[in-house]
Amino acid sequence: MARYLHRCAGGLVVSCQAREGEALHGPHFMAAMARSAVAGGARAVRINGPADVAAVRAAVDVPVIGLWKDGDTGVYITPTLAHALELAAAGADIVALDATARPRPDGLDLTATVAGLHAAGAVVMADVSTPEEGRAAAGAGADLVATTLSGYTPASPPREGPDLELVARLSRTQPVPVVAEGRYTTPAQAADALRAGAHSVVVGGAITRPADITARFAGALADVPVPAARPAAATDVTDEGTPA
């Protein structure tokens, strides 16, 4: 925990993830992505799944935040204590998990899950969507609270950009550091999160999803009418066929 707080205060955390079926899916590619992120100034990396965590842990000397997305509805970010412990065993310094009010698939409450991870020597990052969930996570013993799930749960309305209001509110009211995460797409937004009180800022797709980044540029160009081709400039020539 002290290592993370010292190294990451006021800094950038890069989420290096690729879904199955994407060109960069797999431990080798994620290790390379993590090295690139660290070379660019990332203070820590956030990595999905034990295999990628192990590969990245061997590749970089910065704190590794591990999570395990299992499923795509309900509680699917590190949904059970067993998932969390496997991430810790793979080398995650910090384990991120869903800390919303929704029931966890293994039936354990958040306090028991956090206690199990602490017993394994791991730091716990609680991904929440509301101020109330942030308070509950801190009360359950979580070491860090992240705004990752704002806009993605029934308790928090969808939004276009990052939830800076949640960052500010949690930073004012929680006894643990607050990590800003969720829809940060520009450097200015990341800086705004620090001004709102965040300890550090996680940025993912805006940095590490080349297909999505390319699609944004391609989409912007597709909306612009293509200008008509201009005729070639006429060139006066002499009777001998050379420019006059």
pLDDT digits (tens, 9 = 90+) for 178-226: 999 999 999 999 999 999 999 999 999 999 999 999 999 999 999 899 8
Specify the pairing of strand 44-48 against strand 123-127.
unpaired
Pick the CATH number of 2-210 from 3.40.50.300, 3.40.50.10490, 3.20.20.70, 3.40.50.1970: 3.20.20.70
Side chain identity at residue 120, one-letter code: A
Q: Which residue's structure tokens are 């969930």?
A: 133
**CA-CA distance, 77 to 188, in Å (whole number)?**
27
**Domain segments of the chain: what residues?**
2-210
Please report the pLDDT score of residue 244 as a whole number: 44
Split at pLDDT 50, 70, 90, the class of 4 is confident
Flag whether the pTM goes above 0.85: yes
**CA-CA distance, 140 to 134, in Å (whole number)?**
10
85: tokens are 């412990």
